[in-house]
Amino acid sequence: MEPRKRKRPSKAGQKESSVQSYSVREFFAEFPTDDACLIRVMEVRYGLRHVCGKCKTGATFHKITGRRAFACAACGDHIYPCAGTIFEDSRTPMQTWFYAIYLFIATRHGVSAKELQRTLGVTYKTAWRIGHQIRDMMTEPARGNWTER
Ligand SMILES: [Zn+2]
């Protein structure tokens, strides 16, 4: 196996090489819907199966249709995996958030609000807010950890 070259790629090749580890196609295969994104948040923060805080049973949690919530299979208690995250209280679809995070990770050099507006198809105001919150999250390791693959 060839040793990894530390040399930086040329300016022209930079865009391509920075995303080759995880392509846009792979992103949409892994997160085809808002629910897929929400399930990932649930998996990482609580686990789809865990000891329920209410009934103390090792139970499976199912996504509740139309809500960003999961219900305990044993007692029906609800869990909101987005509570305390940047997705809480946001009307922006989960997949849009995830894609924005993907862009930040893939490009490494940061993404401007204008770029987010164009790529995500949201208003400038929304793009600015999303970018701002992702930047904050990524500089706060404790909260940013779970977004890492
Ligand atoms: Zn329960």
pLDDT at 16 over 70: no
Answer yes or no: are the C-beta atoms of 127 and 114 closer than 8 Å. Answer: yes
Q: How far is the CA of 86 from the centre of ligand 1 (A)?
A: 26
Give the range of the structural domain holding residue 62, as residue numbers without chain letter. Answer: 47-79
pLDDT tens per residue across span 100-110: 999 998 887 78
Distance of CA 79 from the midpoint of ligand 1 (Å): 10
Distance (Å) from CA 75 to ligand 1 centroid:
4
- Report yes or no on 57 lying in a domain: yes
Q: What pTM was estimated for this model as a whole?
A: 0.78
**Ligand 1 midpoint to CA 53 (Å):** 7
Q: What is the pLDDT of residues 25-54, one digit of tens each?
A: 999 999 999 999 999 999 999 999 999 999
- The total number of structural domains in the chain stands at 2
User: Does residue 91 sit in the same domain as residue 143?
Assistant: yes
Q: How far is the CA of 80 from the centre of ligand 1 (A)?
A: 14
